[in-house]
Amino acid sequence: MNDQAVSASERVPVIFLPGIIMPAALRYAPLLRELDGIQPVVKDLEVYSQDAPPPDYSIDHEVEGVSRAADAAGLDRFHIYGHSAGGAIALAYVARHPERVLSLAIDEPATDFSDADKAILKADLDRIAAMPAPDPMRAFMQMQLAPGVDLPAPPPGPAPGWMALRPAGIAAFTAALMRHTLAPGTLSEFLGPVY
């Protein structure tokens, strides 16, 4: 089945949220080339919506951004998929707006907002913050890999322009993760499928 054969009303609405490093369009382009029959909304993180994160940046900015993206696409209800940072945002979104979400799929969420998970994340982030520049960014990316797996060498040439926003975005996002809380039992109230 191809997208031309599926009417707009028959397409499955899905919002895709990326991790903290790669822009959503780059992250999901290969996947979207393989999927038929969906109405994708590829949503970048709000932390990168300006040249620098807002001073009052919070996970609520991301939750509100998902609602705005859904509204702009004409979606009342939708499936949501989030990777890493996007996975944590998807969890926060479901906790706030379970009535809008048909199903939740998360891949290696940055956190589940539990105190135990935040303690592990804080220890990793403190270790990285203590490293001399420019190692913290590379160390952060290495933290995303399994033990014993090394990062590939950076590609030749200058880094893409969007990469310059990542250190400040990562710092703002991780601080926001640490401040954000979910009421106990909130996620268990979501009755849709979770993958």
Q: Give yes or no for a contact between 90 and 116, defined as CB atoms under 8 angstroms apart.
A: no
Task: Give the H or E element holding residue 80.
Answer: strand 78-83
Predicted pLDDT at 8? 60
Q: For residue 49, what are the domain limits?
A: 3-189
Whether 194 maps to a domain, the answer reads no
In a domain, 142, yes or no: yes
Q: Say which CATH number the domain at 154 has.
A: 3.40.50.1820
Contact 186, 133 (CB under 8 A): no
The reply to whether 133 falls in a domain is yes
Q: Kindly report, residue by residue over 17-50, the tens digit of the pLDDT.
A: 999 999 999 999 999 999 999 999 999 999 999 9
Q: Is residue 89 part of a domain?
A: yes
Name the domain count of the chain: 1
List of the chain residues with pLDDT < 50: 1-3
Is residue 105 in a domain?
A: yes
Q: Which of 39, 45, 43 is nearest to 7 (CA)?
A: 39
Distance in angstroms (rounded) separating the CA atoms of residues 24 and 184: 30
Tens of pLDDT, residues 51-60: 999 999 999 9
CA 87, CA 126: separation in Å to the nearest integer? 22
Name residue, tokens 């969906």.
38
Task: Give me the pLDDT at residue 3, please.
Answer: 46
Q: Is 195 a member of any domain?
A: no
pLDDT at 179: 95
